[in-house]
Structure 1
Amino acid sequence: MGVVSDTPAPDTEDLILGPVLRRVEDGRATVWVEAARPGTVEIRAGDSTASEGTFTAHGHHYGFVLLEGLPPKASTPYSVYLNGEKVWPPVGYNYPPPVIRTRPDEAPVRVLFGSCRESSPLHTADRLPPDALDAYAVRLAAAFDSAGQPPDEWPDLLMLLGDQVYADEVSPTMKRYLDARERGPNAPETQVADFHEYTQLYVDSWTDPDIRWLLSTVPSVMIFDDHEIIDDWNISGAWRHDIAREPWWATRISAGLASYWVYQHLGNLRPDELAGDPVLAAVRASPQDASAVLDAFGRDADARTVPYRWSYAFDLGRTRIVVLDNRAGRQLSEGKRSMLAPEVWDWFDKQVEGDYDHLLVGASLPWLMPPAVHHVEAASERFAESPRPRVRRYAEKMRRAVDLEHWAAFHDAFDALTGVLKRVADRPDGPATVNVLSGDVHHSYVARAELGTRSPVYQLTCSPVHNKLPGFMKPAMRFAWSRFAALMGRGVARAAGLARPDFRWTRLAGPVYLNAISEVYMDGRHARVRIEGTKPDKRLQQEAELTLS
Structure 2
Amino acid sequence: MTAQLLIGPVLRRVVDDRATLWLETSEPARVRVEVETAGAGSAQTFSAYGHHYALVVVDGLSPDSANPYRLFLDDRQVWPEAGAEHPPPVIRTRAADDRGQPVSLVFGSCREATPQSSRRRLPPDALDAYARRLMADPTQHPDLLVLLGDQVYADETSAKVRRFLRRRRRDGHAGPENQVVSFEEYTKLYLESWRDPEVRWLFSTVPSVMIFDDHELIDDWNTSASWRADMAREPWWRERISGGLASYWIYQHLGNLSPDELAADPLFQKVSAAEDATELLREFGHRVDEPESAENTDVPFQWSFALDLGRTRIVVLDNRCNRVLTPGARAMLPPAEWDWFLDRAHGDYDHLVIGSSLPWLMPPAIHYLEAWNERLAESHRPWAAAFGERVRRAFDLEHWAAFGKSFAALGELFRRLGEGRPTTEGRRVGAGEVYAAPASISVLSGDVHHSYVARADFGHAMTTPVYQLTCSPIHNEVPLPMRPLMRIAWSRAVAQLVRGLARTLSVHKPALRWKRLSGPYFGNAVGTLRLEGATATARIEGTTKDGDLVEVAAADYHP
Same fold (TM over 0.5): yes
AA aligned opposite 1:29? A
Q: Which residue of 2 aligns with 1:249?
A: 237
Residue 143 of structure 2 corresponds to residue 156 of structure 1 = yes
2:450–2:520 contact (8 Å) kept in structure 1: yes
Q: Which residue of 2 aligns with 1:101?
A: 92
Partner Cα separation in structure 1 for residue 299 and residue 351 of structure 2? 34
Residue 315 of structure 2 corresponds to residue 343 of structure 1 = no
After TM superposition, the score normalised by the length of structure 2 is: 0.93
1:22–1:220 contact (8 Å) kept in structure 2: yes
When residues 189 and 436 of structure 1 are mapped into structure 2, their CA distance, relative to the original with a 3 A threshold, is: same
Q: Which residue of 2 aligns with 1:218?
A: 206
Q: Deviations over 1:307-351 (max 9, x none)?
A: 211000010111000000010000011211100010011001100
SS at match of 2:215: helix
Q: Give identity over the alignment, percent.
A: 56
**Cα distance, 1:271 vs structure 2:** 1.6
2:299–2:334 contact (8 Å) kept in structure 1: no
Partner Cα separation in structure 2 for residue 401 and residue 131 of structure 1? 29
1:122–1:208 contact (8 Å) kept in structure 2: no
Q: Which residue of 1 aligns with 2:471?
A: 462
Instruction: Map 1:401-480; keep pairs closer than 5 Å.
Output: 401-427=394-420, 429-451=436-458, 452=460, 453-480=462-489
Partner Cα separation in structure 2 for residue 503 and residue 298 of structure 1? 39
AA aligned opposite 1:466? H
AA aligned opposite 2:507? L
Instruction: Map 1:220-369; keep pairs closer than 5 Å.
Output: 220-286=208-274, 288-303=275-290, 307-369=300-362
Instruction: Map 1:45-64; keep pairs closer than 5 Å.
Output: 45-46=35-36, 47-64=38-55
1:356–1:430 contact (8 Å) kept in structure 2: no
Partner Cα separation in structure 2 for residue 488 and residue 13 of structure 1? 62
- Select between 472-481 and 104-113 the one with higher mean Cα deviation: 104-113
Partner Cα separation in structure 2 for residue 306 and residue 372 of structure 1? 33
Query: In the alignment, which of 74, 77, 83 is matched to residue 68 of structure 2?
Result: 77
1:300–1:306 contact (8 Å) kept in structure 2: no
Query: In the alignment, which of 176, 180, 191 is matched to residue 188 of structure 1?
Result: 176
SS at match of 1:303: coil
**Cα distance, 1:544 vs structure 2:** 2.2
Query: In the alignment, which of 188, 197, 211 is matched to residue 185 of structure 2?
Result: 197
Query: In the alignment, which of 18, 23, 37 is matched to residue 13 of structure 2?
Result: 23
AA aligned opposite 1:421? F
Partner Cα separation in structure 2 for residue 490 and residue 42 of structure 1? 59
AA aligned opposite 2:185? E
Residue 132 of structure 2 corresponds to residue 138 of structure 1 = yes
Partner Cα separation in structure 2 for residue 98 and residue 494 of structure 1? 56
**Cα distance, 1:122 vs structure 2:** 2.2
AA aligned opposite 2:402? A
When residues 117 and 475 of structure 1 are mapped into structure 2, their CA distance, relative to the original with a 3 A threshold, is: same
**Cα distance, 1:107 vs structure 2:** 2.2
Partner Cα separation in structure 1 for residue 328 and residue 550 of structure 2? 46
Partner Cα separation in structure 2 for residue 180 and residue 334 of structure 1? 41
- Select between 537-546 and 361-370 the one with higher mean Cα deviation: 537-546
Partner Cα separation in structure 2 for residue 249 and residue 201 of structure 1? 18
1:34–1:61 contact (8 Å) kept in structure 2: yes
Q: Deviations over 1:45-77 (max 9, x none)?
A: 123111111110111000101111101111001
AA aligned opposite 2:280? V
Q: Which residue of 2 aligns with 1:520?
A: 529
**Cα distance, 1:125 vs structure 2:** 7.3
Residue 166 of structure 2 corresponds to residue 173 of structure 1 = no
Q: Which residue of 1 aligns with 2:79?
A: 88
Partner Cα separation in structure 2 for residue 383 and residue 545 of structure 1? 37
Partner Cα separation in structure 1 for residue 260 and residue 415 of structure 2? 30
1:446–1:461 contact (8 Å) kept in structure 2: yes
Q: Which residue of 1 aligns with 2:59?
A: 68
**Cα distance, 1:306 vs structure 2:** 6.9
AA aligned opposite 2:260? D
After TM superposition, the score normalised by the length of structure 1 is: 0.95
Partner Cα separation in structure 1 for residue 94 and residue 518 of structure 2? 31
**Cα distance, 1:439 vs structure 2:** 0.3
Partner Cα separation in structure 2 for residue 367 and residue 42 of structure 1? 42
Partner Cα separation in structure 1 for residue 171 and residue 89 of structure 2? 38
AA aligned opposite 1:491? G
1:161–1:224 contact (8 Å) kept in structure 2: yes
Partner Cα separation in structure 2 for residue 382 and residue 207 of structure 1? 45
Partner Cα separation in structure 2 for residue 34 and residue 208 of structure 1? 15
SS at match of 1:467: coil
Partner Cα separation in structure 2 for residue 448 and residue 135 of structure 1? 28
Please provide the CA RMSD for this pair: 1.3
SS at match of 1:404: coil
- Select between 346-355 and 272-281 the one with higher mean Cα deviation: 272-281
Q: Which residue of 2 aligns with 1:531?
A: 540
Partner Cα separation in structure 2 for residue 442 and residue 31 of structure 1? 30
Structure 1: 5+ residue runs without aligned partners? 1-11, 144-149
Q: Which residue of 1 aligns with 2:432?
A: none
Q: Deviations over 1:171-230 (max 9, x none)?
A: 122112212335535311010010010000001100100000000000000000000000
Q: Which residue of 2 aligns with 1:543?
A: 552
SS at match of 1:122: coil
Q: Which residue of 2 aligns with 1:5?
A: none
When residues 482 and 176 of structure 1 are mapped into structure 2, their CA distance, relative to the original with a 3 A threshold, is: same
Partner Cα separation in structure 2 for residue 313 and residue 393 of structure 1? 38
When residues 189 and 308 of structure 1 are mapped into structure 2, their CA distance, relative to the original with a 3 A threshold, is: same
AA aligned opposite 1:534? T
SS at match of 1:227: coil
Partner Cα separation in structure 1 for residue 331 and residue 119 of structure 2? 40
1:375–1:493 contact (8 Å) kept in structure 2: yes
Structure 2: 5+ residue runs without aligned partners? 292-297, 421-434
Partner Cα separation in structure 2 for residue 207 and residue 407 of structure 1? 34
- Select between 301-310 and 537-546 the one with higher mean Cα deviation: 301-310
**Cα distance, 1:13 vs structure 2:** 6.4
- Select between 447-456 and 61-70 the one with higher mean Cα deviation: 447-456
**Cα distance, 1:95 vs structure 2:** 0.6
1:355–1:430 contact (8 Å) kept in structure 2: no
Partner Cα separation in structure 1 for residue 260 and residue 371 of structure 2? 40
Partner Cα separation in structure 2 for residue 71 and residue 18 of structure 1? 23
SS at match of 2:289: helix
**Cα distance, 1:482 vs structure 2:** 0.4
2:127–2:526 contact (8 Å) kept in structure 1: yes
1:206–1:212 contact (8 Å) kept in structure 2: yes
AA aligned opposite 2:214? D
**Cα distance, 1:126 vs structure 2:** 6.3
SS at match of 2:554: strand
2:324–2:332 contact (8 Å) kept in structure 1: yes
SS at match of 1:298: helix
